[in-house]
Structure formats: C-alpha cells, structure tokens
Chain A
C-alpha cells in the first residue's frame, strides 16, 4: 500500500522569470478514516415487531475501516470493490454528504463534510444509479439552473456547454424531456451537468452501470478525452473492468471496508495473481485424461486445454507434460484481470 505517495512536481515561474519547482499538495488526502452505521436488527414475526416497539437491538456495521490514501492532481484512479465493500460510502464522505465516524480527510484543501460553498464549487459527483436532472424538463433547462446555482458567467457557460455537447455527441437531445431519453443518453446529460462548472475533481460512482457496450465505450472515450485535455482528477468506481482498463493506471481495491491494494493496475497480477494459465494444444485428437495431477483443468476445446497452475510450479509442470506427451502448441498466460479481481473480492485480500 502506498499511503505516502510522492507529490506531483509542478513547474511554475517565479518573479524572476526563473522556473521554480514546487510540490503540489495531493488533491485528496484520506487519513485513517472509518465509518460505522448503527442498524436496527428487526426480529422476525409479529411478536418481534411488537417487542421492537419497546426494546430495539442495533448492530454496528463497519462500512469503512481505517483507510488511508492520497491522490495527486490529474490522476485517474479506479476504486474497486464488491458490492457493500465501502466504495460509495467513501465517495460520499469525500463529497461531504456523510460524516466519518473516525479519521480525517482533506479534499482540495477543504474538510469535505464542512460543506463549504467554495469546496462544493470545485468538484462533482456523478452517480450512475441516480438522476439529478429535472425529470419532466429538457436537460437544457436543468443546465440553465445549474448555471444559476454555480454562478457560471454566461459566456463561459455557453462555451463549456458547446464543448461538452460536441464531445458527447448530444446536440439534438438537450431540448428533449429527460424522461424521454434512453439510459445512455441520460447518463451523457448527467455528465454534462457534472462538468459544466469545470470541476477540479470528478467523483464517478458506477457511471456506466446498466449501459450497453456501445454506450459504455462512448462514456469511456469521453471521460478519457476530457481527462487528457483538462487534467482533472478523477476517482472512479465501477464493476466493469473494461472501464478500469480503458481509463485508469492506478487502482485502489477495497474489500469488507478495508483498503487491500493501492498501486498500478498491472501490479494486481503480481500481488494477487498466484496462478498462470497454460494453454496447451496436444498433437493427439483429445487431451490426455490425467491432467488434473498438474493443476486445475479449465476449458477443453478439441485437443486444446486450459490448465491453471501455481506460478512457482509452471516450469516443472511444463517439463513433465512435454516429457510425457506430444505438444503442438503451448502458451503461458496471466488469468484475465476480471477473474483475478473477482477472486480478490471473494477472498477479501487474504490471499496476499
């Protein structure tokens, strides 16, 4: 885990017109933050309901447990974890919607849950499962309201809106009532609303959830392009590894409320990928029957078989198979990232 990441260097001119390198503070600094919820434990049946009127039992749910990380300006970071891992709770604390039970955080130099207007002007939260636009009105009316709320100068508003409409290809849709738009079109409008005030930080909570592949790719493309052009800092949660692979180099993995990995996406394989996949094509018409002694037998297609083998045993297994059987082709692969992540989630990081 890397809680003390090296701050981004940025070169700025000083008053003598000489370049001066200054250390920019991280955009997000989270320090041992936890969030506990007290949840009413309802007893079963009518008797339990009556008892609940007089005496209630509560369970404490630890949604987030003592996590720390920091994110530098301009990073595009994925926040991964299974349902209920604490991703959204963390995003909500960072956006100031809920208070932490313990710990501190600074985002853009502000304590998020103080909800200062100056802080709220500088970030956006997009939630794929929620809609912030006025349902019965065209999106353009919601954008106009957004302009008033964020006090965006009219000329800059028009310019940004034009750019975003072009980027997302929704020129003919902004005058259509939001309720008449498809899910993908609605998400594009949500993104426009989120970016109109040019936030410095973008928090994206499953922005492609429920979208078809085409819409997912469009959103990914737009986010990548927007990030490259504007260097905004983005923290993305998504269950689609395609989103993560397309957009992020760094990932934070959270499971059962604990941060279990913080590093390069490719580093996940080194840390959690204890297996390799041997894809072996035998010369015979079918693979031999005794392959399970070498590892876990996966898919079999004709004479080709996939064999999962512990990483340290790969060389030994390969030499044994080559000694006993005639091989037409062989390749050694890493398991797909999606499978690897699923396993990390299942094990909650205990496999490290």
Chain B
C-alpha cells in the first residue's frame, strides 16, 4: 500500500438509501448474468430453442383443439390465445427473474453459501430472489406479448386506454402473487434443506394458472375453483389480466387481485424472514 495513503477511513452510508438503488443493482446483476450466459453460449442457445419449441407445440395443440370447436370453456379462439400469451409472458417474467434463484436457495442453505448473501448490507429477499437473471427464458416474455398482440389483431380489438392500464396493473399483480407463492415454497428450504418436492408443488401451481377459471366451474371441480381463487389465489394470476383485456371488466376482481397482491407480498415476506431466523448455516 502506498505510504502516503490516508489513514483508515470507514465509508459511511450515503444519506439517501432509497429504493432507486435496487433497480440499478438489478440492472448490474442482469448484466453480469448476461455476460456469464453468453460466455457459455451453447447452453444458452439450447435453452432458448427449447422454450421456442415449447410455445410452438402449445400453439399447435390449441390450433388442433379450435379446429374442432369454436369455444373452450366460453373462451373463443382469439381470446384463448390471448390467455395463452398472457400466461407465457407472466411465466417468462417469473422464470427470468426469480425461478432459478429460488430453485438454488436450498443448495445455498445446504452448503452454507447463503452466509455471504446474508452478510451484505442490502435487503436479503432482494439479493436471494433476484441475484441472477435467467436470460435464456427471457424470450418467453417477448413471445408471450407477441401472441397477445396477434390474438388482439385477429380479434379486431379496438384500443382502450382503461383496459390497457388495468391490464398493466393486474399483470403486475399476477406476477407479484405468483412470486409470493414461490417465495413461501422457497422459504421451506431452511427447515427441509432439500426442497425438490416443494418446487414440484410450484409446477403444480403454475399448471393450474395456465387454464381459465371456467374450466374449474363445473361439477366437483368447482371446489378447486373456490380454493385456488379465494384461498390460494393462484387462479387469479393469469385470469384477471386476461379478462380485463378481452372480456368484460370486473371491478370487484380487479380490486380483489390488488388486495390479494398486497396481502400475499406481506405474508410471504414475513414468512421468509421467519425462515431466515431459523437458518443454521452449514459448518465450514
């Protein structure tokens, strides 16, 4: 060290520790993960190809279904395609930003590598659930929006600013509710250490979210609709934003999803903090 260097001086925290820091940090984390992904480009390209293929199969399947019927559970073809696009976009956001991080959480707990994340002077939930951006699934978001745009075009949809604004709000709410579910399931890793079965539960939830509520509104499945709309409201995630764009706007459901969003974010954060209190840190 240079002899003329000043005496040790601790860097005090800047006066304003605002939320603005987080988007900047997310951008930086996203950039680093992109650099990493591009340096392993073979893996990156294969993952992108798989996602494109998966959407293609899904669209081909619905083409086949709608070749034989004009409606599925009261959803005409173009509306249903919008729903599929909305699901793809929401799922794309979740997988791009959070899924890989949540999946890896149990590994961090098992190896004790979580230690370094907890030591950083930043919100633990942010750092744990957002530290890596999975760019290979990000094309799903674009593909989802493209499918939505094409379906609206085919449907002859006329621009409606209110619907677009409500869609933006409820789309964000949908992402937040699904994120909360993911966070709760992830938090269990602190106690269970191995979390495979819980992440399978996440796949079950996301499978439920990909269908319109009307599918569950008959016979015995009615109870599923009630449970997964009002108790574990995973059916709201895609249904509400899709409906505000292509069906009649239901103010009650729009309000409900906003209340559910606030409640689920608060509850999942509380649960996550409880889980971190029980963290034992693997011995080194």
Contacts and interface: CB of A to CB of B under 8 A. Distances in A.
Given A156-B11, A198-B11, A231-B8, A130 B118 contact: no
B1 A120 contact: no
A149 B13 CA distance: 11
Nearest to B37: A136
Contacts of B45: none
* Size category, A interface: 35 or more
Contacts of A127: 115, 284
B17 interface: yes
A240 interface: no
B11 A145 contact: no
Interface stretch (A11-19, A88-96, A250-258, A329-337): A88-96
Interface residues of B, number: 38
Given A130-B116, A148-B24, A98 B284 contact: no
B278 to A, nearest CB: 9
B28 A144 contact: yes
Nearest to B40: A136
A166 B13 contact: no
Contacts of A37: 280
Contacts, number: 108
B32 A150 contact: no
B63 to A, nearest CB: 41
Contacts of B127: 149
Nearest to B124: A115
A294 interface: no
Contacts of B112: 130
Interface in B139-158: none
Contact of A115 (B11, B113, B118): B118
B277 interface: yes
Given A98-B280, A130-B113, A225-B1, A232 B39 contact: no
Nearest to A164: B1
Given A134-B32, A136-B40, A150-B121, A121 B13 contact: yes
Interface in A155-201: 156, 159, 163-164, 166-167, 197-200
A129 interface: yes
Interface string A99-121: 10000000000000001011111
A205 interface: yes
Contact of A226 (B1, B28, B124): B1
Interface in B210-247: none
Given A97-B118, A145-B32, A167 B1 contact: yes
8 contacts: A97-B115, A98-B281, A136-B40, A148-B25, A150-B121, A153-B14, A206-B284, A229-B8
Interface of B: 1-2, 5, 7-11, 13-14, 17, 21, 24-25, 28-29, 32, 35-36, 39-40, 112-113, 115-116, 118-122, 124, 127, 277, 279-281, 283-284
Interface of A: 37, 88-89, 92, 95-99, 115, 117-122, 124-125, 127, 129-130, 132, 134, 136-137, 141, 144-145, 148-153, 156, 159, 163-164, 166-167, 197-200, 205-206, 225-226, 229-232
